[in-house]
Structure 1
Amino acid sequence: MDKLRDFLKSKMGQLLMALCLIPMAFLGFSGSFGGASSDPNTVATIGKRSITTNELQNAITNYRQALIAQDANASQINESVLKDQALQDLINSDLLVQQANKLGMGLSDKTISMILQKQRVFQDENGEFSNALFANFLKTRGITKDQLFDEQRSQYALNQLNRSIVSSSIYPISAINSFINLQLQTRNVWLHRFNWQDFANQVTVSDNEINDYYHQHQNDLQSIAMVDLSYITLTPEEINVEAVTDEEMNQQYEAYKQELNIDDMREISQILLTGEDAGSKSQEVIQKLADGAKFAALAKAYSDDPSAENGGDIGRFNAAVFGNEANKVKKALNGLKVGDVSKPVTTSYGIQIFTVTSNNNDKIPSIDDVRPELEDRAIRYKREQAFSDKVTQINELAVNGYSIQDIADQEKVTFKTIKDFQEEDNQTELGQPIIIEKAFDDNIIQEQAVTANINVNSKTYWIQPVNYRPIKSLSAEEATPVIKALLTKQKASKLALQEAQTTAKAIISKEDMTQQKVKFSALGSINRQSQKLLEAEKAVAFSQKAPDSGVISISALTDLGASVLVVDKVNEVEQSQLSDIDQRQTALIVRQNLGQSDLQDYLEYLRITHGVKINEEAIHSGTL
């Protein structure tokens, strides 16, 4: 049902999904880690296996990209929390993979091959498995066939074990229906908000009230930690580079052909022979070819590859398909013209015989055809290299104890300062969590050091905090303006609530709203998750019944002051309106949510039995 789908896309629905899926996020990070090691680049060990700083950094990057893809503001991402979450997910993933393998949950190479051949992404327009599409996938991922098989094997085992734990919880379908019906309830709402600032001039705060509040809350009244922050910033666009040389153009051209896999445009077919008699069969095939037999016919008769149905056609030669054996195959194909047949080649697939069916190398674009694009690529590459060198140089100066002003003078970059840079409620240009974390790092503050480069969105920063003012209890004099502002808001909000209550009592019908001194906004039909309401307004919006043909008015104290909500009857959703599919899908979500506690208990057990050790020094080093 569309309403249920809308609910699952709503804030409450997404929260429910998040509660179910966040603990399972590590399923996307499964893979094989190296053996245990005392290497300082090892951030954690799980039994005899280890997680490296590189793997953790990749996981952090994946998380960050996923958040940004969901429209998260990159500057507001808490890097410390992100790092901790990524590490815990990597550890959880490996614990479950190890346990799944121990329990014998896995797939054979033959089964994985069958699964991959049925994947639509690897099928051509005729629905047939395409070696070319498969090869391009491997190249895009930057992995070999064996690595993909290992990844699929681990992922399957991980999912199988996870499902056996998470999906076991029981939750009555009647309770699920009641929960859904509550979330789908709607009613029309008219709203007016009384802002507390409009009543502030009607209240006074005495010295005695301030003193009483101070003595009652003295331990809670503290200053905000501050530093004076000096910084420089740099972007690749600021770097000037020299004109592109012919040699650089040629390098870009070769890279361009490799990226598009157009360095060899020959179409090839193969005959794959497997089994103990593959050797004798290969000689038999070679002899028949010499006697004039057609390669396509022999492929259909002899080949053990799915391409046999197409006469052995596997498209253009792609090295990524053959992994470490690519050079061996490439050597066998060297010099072959259309119609020529290679010698038998022994690979991990079996024994393969190839023929060239067409040659389109004359269609490869010349360097002049793509010169504008190559020039842009070359300039971008040179600028990125120069930018990287600049970053390294500045980092070296920082390590050698140069002040940020000295660095700015030497490297000819702009030097800026922010006075009273706050640790909390920071609204400055540099108010991003990762910069705040570095600015108030104990070691950096103590040494008054310049940090290594900090990347935020498209900019790179270096900062130097000085004149640190730690959190401290406020004196009575320092706390006075803070307390006065707080008490003023409290008193003004009470006046706003009184006005809201008076207004609410005067409204019995819709027509009464037009007789009030204030104007009401018609919000239309809303549900319990409506983003048009404040949290305090949501709490009361469905708290009272209204007559079928009338309205009721409700007042509420809010963070902004007070509100009056005029609401009509609640529109209920009958259980019969929910399809069986919708009920089952939501039941699964709720049951998985309940099953998370079982999963966390199981992971805690695995942590104890496998001996998880975390290298805090490596985690908090400057490499992460």
Structure 2
Amino acid sequence: MESFRKVIKGWLGKVLLVLFLTPLALVGIEGYFSSGNKDTAKTVNGTDISKKELESLTKTFKQQYLAYANGDETLLNQTFIEQKALDTLVARTLLLQQAEKLGISLSDQQIEQMIAQQPSFQENGQFSNALYENYLKSVGMNSRQLIASLRNDHALKMLSSTFMDYPLVSKLDIEQIANLQTEQRHVHIASVNLDNYKKNVKVSDAEVAAYYEKHKTVFKQPTSVDVDYVVLSPANIQTETAAATEAELQEAYKKFVDSQKSAVKPDVKHILITADSRSEAEAQKLAADVAAKIKAGTSFAQAAAQYSEDPESKAKGGAIAVYETGVFGDAFDKAVASLKPGVVSAPVKTDYGYHIIAVETPNVDVPSFESQKARLTEEVLAAKKANAFSDTVNGLNDMVVSADSLDVVAQEVKGIQVKSAKGVTLATRDPLLSDANVKVKLFNDDVKNGDRNVSSSIQLANGDVAWVKVRNYYAVGEQPFAVAKPRVKAKLIEEKALAAAKAQIQKTLEEFKTKPAASVAKGNLSFEDAGIYTRAEGLLKRDVQRAAFSLKAPKAGFWSVTTASLPNELVVVAVSEVKKNPITVLSEEQRQELMKLYSQLRGQQEFDDYTRYLKAHAKIK
């Protein structure tokens, strides 16, 4: 523990970034550490939420949603994502304010102990400076920010756990849920096809127009376009490619060698002098003295062992295990980039103190030219073909854009045709039209505002190139009557046919209320025994299941009956028996799982209600 205290109070404490407590869903980690731009996005009870915080969390949410959208940014609702991020930050701010009022907080000593006890920083049961330092170098943050973030995270966790871990759940609640989930219903189904009824349905234009006016909001359309397009593939271009020359191969080999050498990271050594136990001036002077000793003949390793305050590297001649740019800051990186092998830098100041730096370039075993010649030949020829295709595309692009016509491509390249598609939306699944780069050209502000010019060439993911021209743009909203009319008419016919079918079987449905099922004159209804179901199984179609489990339990010998509507079908749903099962039909493990799931649901509901309460009583500007 004492070794940890020394570390956290020294230079390592300035680069901590660890959130060991489980983060809340509403806590965006980037939001903890905003600095610099203080432009306010929102003020919550006098506490500012900066635009940088909002941008950072919005970016985080966007990346999460992109994973669900397979990287297709055009499918994202940017406004929704930003609003979600803002709501999350407002809720987090309110909860932190409430935690402060309630006195929920960790002391510095508790935070130090919590970090020191993390298994990832333990070696042989003891806190390891080396493990700790390696992690800290990879993330870079100071102790003030770490302690603030851990304190905030702990406060949020404690406040949320009050609701999430201790929801008000009674034994009766669980029994009622178990009864609902295990209840068994014997279901019988009869199907009435609507085709014959539709033959006799007449719908006038006046009825269609009246229905449309009354239900306009039902007939909506997504943003869509009518588009012409043309696609050009490298296979469409017949070009003679010259053989790879010796000069081209040598140039390719030189680039290969350079890439091999640049991929090797330099071996970086440093000696760190901090101002943790001395003044800034004293640290600067000591660093200059150490640099002078090295220049006078003291080896770098000796100086590191004697003076460096980097506990991980001092015993290794000052060698940094794996050098990564950004760990020590720009000044350090610039020194590394400018130093020649064997040269030792003057003291370089960073946020951590003064560094004396030395750089060595490891030897690189580069394969010979002869061993790479076959591969390089293929690469050179492939590059020539790609360049020829690119030159063709550039030439065609100039002509297409100048003429504002896709026909140019069809005229210049044999076998190419201009194609058309109507009603293309962001959700359209098509090898070309669902390409993210194409959708950006089809659905942008310029097109929305009336631009109907041919696009410039679009590089597709498979290596092909396309051009598109939007003919018509249909904004999201209510469908015009002319467009919606077929749907309205079909809807009216469906409703009238459904009403006619219900009317024909209504007498039978009424009989079920007063007579045992065996004595009901079922007419043309042919019931099938669908089987016994529980709510949890979900084996019935949703509307049928909803109807079956909405019915009252019937008396012995009777059926409870209702109807459900499916496309072109009226389904008569009957329940002949409802069997209530005791909670004991569930195993102890199942009961515990049910208790856990319900507790989580209730806890989340109560926590959400509490957050909404705080928001309703807050001053948010």
Counterpart contact for 1:230–1:417, Cα < 8 Å? yes
Counterpart contact for 2:283–2:353, Cα < 8 Å? yes
Question: Which residue does 1:444 correspond to in 2?
Answer: 448
Match of 2:479 among 460, 471, 486: 471
**Pairing 1:275–2:277 present:** yes
Measured in 2, the distance between the counterparts of 1:109 and 1:402 equals 71
Counterpart contact for 2:183–2:534, Cα < 8 Å? yes
Question: 1:70-89 residue pairs with structure 2 within 5 A?
Answer: 78-79=75-76, 82-89=77-84
**Pairing 1:327–2:327 present:** no
Measured in 1, the distance between the counterparts of 2:29 and 2:179 equals 29
Measured in 2, the distance between the counterparts of 1:531 and 1:406 equals 54
Residues 120, 245 of structure 1: CA spacing in aligned structure 2 closer, same or farther, 3 A cutoff? farther
Measured in 1, the distance between the counterparts of 2:58 and 2:408 equals 28
CA RMSD of aligned residues (A): 7.1
Question: Which residue does 2:34 correspond to in 1?
Answer: 32
**Pairing 1:231–2:228 present:** yes
Question: 1:580-595 residue pairs with structure 2 within 5 A?
Answer: 587=599, 589-595=601-607
Measured in 1, the distance between the counterparts of 2:502 and 2:435 equals 32
| Offset, 1:350 | 2.8
Question: Which residue does 2:67 correspond to in 1?
Answer: 66
Counterpart contact for 2:229–2:468, Cα < 8 Å? yes
Give TM-score, length-normalised by structure 1.
0.58
Measured in 1, the distance between the counterparts of 2:577 and 2:232 equals 53
Residues 48, 410 of structure 1: CA spacing in aligned structure 2 closer, same or farther, 3 A cutoff? farther
Measured in 2, the distance between the counterparts of 1:158 and 1:411 equals 65
What letter corresponds to residue 263 of structure 1 in structure 2? K
Give the secondary-structure state (helix, strand or coil) at the position aligned to 1:32. Answer: coil
Question: 1:571-610 residue pairs with structure 2 within 5 A?
Answer: 571=581, 573=583, 587=599, 589-600=601-612, 602=614, 608-609=620-621
Measured in 2, the distance between the counterparts of 1:492 and 1:256 equals 78
| Offset, 1:374 | 9.2
Residues 223, 354 of structure 1: CA spacing in aligned structure 2 closer, same or farther, 3 A cutoff? closer
What letter corresponds to residue 464 of structure 1 in structure 2? V
Measured in 2, the distance between the counterparts of 1:232 and 1:483 equals 37
Match of 1:173 among 169, 173, 189: 169
Measured in 1, the distance between the counterparts of 2:55 and 2:181 equals 49
Measured in 2, the distance between the counterparts of 1:600 and 1:381 equals 60
Question: 1:465-504 residue pairs with structure 2 within 5 A?
Answer: 465-466=471-472, 471-473=479-481, 480-489=489-498, 491=500
| Offset, 1:84 | 0.9
| Offset, 1:230 | 1.9
Give the secondary-structure state (helix, strand or coil) at the position aligned to 2:228. Answer: strand
After superposition, the C-alpha distances for 1:208-230 in whole angstroms (9 at most, x for unaligned) are: 79966765664326977697712
Residues 178, 324 of structure 1: CA spacing in aligned structure 2 closer, same or farther, 3 A cutoff? same
| Offset, 1:178 | 2.5
| Offset, 1:557 | 1.1
Give the secondary-structure state (helix, strand or coil) at the position aligned to 1:172. Answer: coil
| Offset, 1:385 | 11
Counterpart contact for 1:31–1:94, Cα < 8 Å? no
Question: Which residue does 2:6 correspond to in 1?
Answer: none
| Offset, 1:464 | 0.6
What letter corresponds to residue 88 of structure 1 in structure 2? Q
What letter corresponds to residue 227 of structure 2 in structure 1? S
| Offset, 1:558 | 4.0
Match of 2:353 among 339, 342, 350: 350
| Offset, 1:250 | 5.0
Measured in 2, the distance between the counterparts of 1:239 and 1:604 equals 64
Residues 23, 302 of structure 1: CA spacing in aligned structure 2 closer, same or farther, 3 A cutoff? closer
Residues 428, 592 of structure 1: CA spacing in aligned structure 2 closer, same or farther, 3 A cutoff? same
| Offset, 1:155 | 6.0
Measured in 2, the distance between the counterparts of 1:176 and 1:295 equals 74
**Pairing 1:535–2:537 present:** no
What letter corresponds to residue 229 of structure 2 in structure 1? I
Give the secondary-structure state (helix, strand or coil) at the position aligned to 2:63. Answer: helix
Question: 1:155-554 residue pairs with structure 2 within 5 A?
Answer: 159=153, 163=157, 169=163, 171-174=167-170, 178=174, 181-182=177-178, 185-186=181-182, 198-201=193-196, 204-207=199-202, 215=210, 218-220=213-215, 229-232=226-229, 247=251, 250-251=254-255, 254=258, 262-264=264-266, 266=267, 274-276=276-278, 298=305, 303=309, 305=311, 314-327=320-333, 330=336, 334-336=340-342, 346-352=349-355, 361-362=362-363, 366=367, 403=404, 405=406, 415-419=418-422, 421=423, 430=433, 444=448, 446-449=450-453, 462-466=468-472, 471-473=479-481, 480-489=489-498, 491=500, 527-528=535-536, 530-540=537-547
Give the secondary-structure state (helix, strand or coil) at the position aligned to 1:557. Answer: strand
| Offset, 1:449 | 4.8
| Offset, 1:324 | 1.2
Measured in 1, the distance between the counterparts of 2:196 and 2:543 equals 25
Counterpart contact for 2:225–2:474, Cα < 8 Å? yes
Question: Which residue does 1:511 correspond to in 2?
Answer: none
What letter corresponds to residue 231 of structure 1 in structure 2? D
After superposition, the C-alpha distances for 1:280-306 in whole angstroms (9 at most, x for unaligned) are: 87668997998999859947x974535
* Greater alpha carbon shift after TM alignment, 271-280 vs 290-299: 290-299
Question: Which residue does 1:513 correspond to in 2?
Answer: none
Counterpart contact for 2:105–2:155, Cα < 8 Å? no
Measured in 1, the distance between the counterparts of 2:249 and 2:80 equals 46
| Offset, 1:417 | 1.3
After superposition, the C-alpha distances for 1:139-187 in whole angstroms (9 at most, x for unaligned) are: xxxxxx25x9899678657746755765565741227953894499346
Measured in 1, the distance between the counterparts of 2:303 and 2:590 equals 56
Give the secondary-structure state (helix, strand or coil) at the position aligned to 2:496. Answer: helix
Gaps of 5+ in 2: 1-22, 519-524
After superposition, the C-alpha distances for 1:238-279 in whole angstroms (9 at most, x for unaligned) are: 8999988765665566556656xx333x48686665421656
Measured in 2, the distance between the counterparts of 1:156 and 1:406 equals 63
Give the secondary-structure state (helix, strand or coil) at the position aligned to 2:327. Answer: helix
Larger radius of gyration: 2
Counterpart contact for 2:516–2:558, Cα < 8 Å? no
Measured in 2, the distance between the counterparts of 1:124 and 1:379 equals 54
Residues 403, 376 of structure 1: CA spacing in aligned structure 2 closer, same or farther, 3 A cutoff? same
Residues 507, 382 of structure 1: CA spacing in aligned structure 2 closer, same or farther, 3 A cutoff? farther
Residues 587, 163 of structure 1: CA spacing in aligned structure 2 closer, same or farther, 3 A cutoff? same
Question: Which residue does 2:16 correspond to in 1?
Answer: none
Give the secondary-structure state (helix, strand or coil) at the position aligned to 2:406. Answer: helix
Aligned-pair identity (%): 15
| Offset, 1:62 | 0.8
Residues 352, 183 of structure 1: CA spacing in aligned structure 2 closer, same or farther, 3 A cutoff? farther
Measured in 2, the distance between the counterparts of 1:603 and 1:254 equals 59
| Offset, 1:201 | 2.2
Measured in 2, the distance between the counterparts of 1:390 and 1:280 equals 65
What letter corresponds to residue 444 of structure 1 in structure 2? K
Residues 463, 248 of structure 1: CA spacing in aligned structure 2 closer, same or farther, 3 A cutoff? farther
* Greater alpha carbon shift after TM alignment, 198-207 vs 83-92: 198-207
What letter corresponds to residue 65 of structure 1 in structure 2? L
Residues 473, 360 of structure 1: CA spacing in aligned structure 2 closer, same or farther, 3 A cutoff? closer
Residues 136, 396 of structure 1: CA spacing in aligned structure 2 closer, same or farther, 3 A cutoff? farther
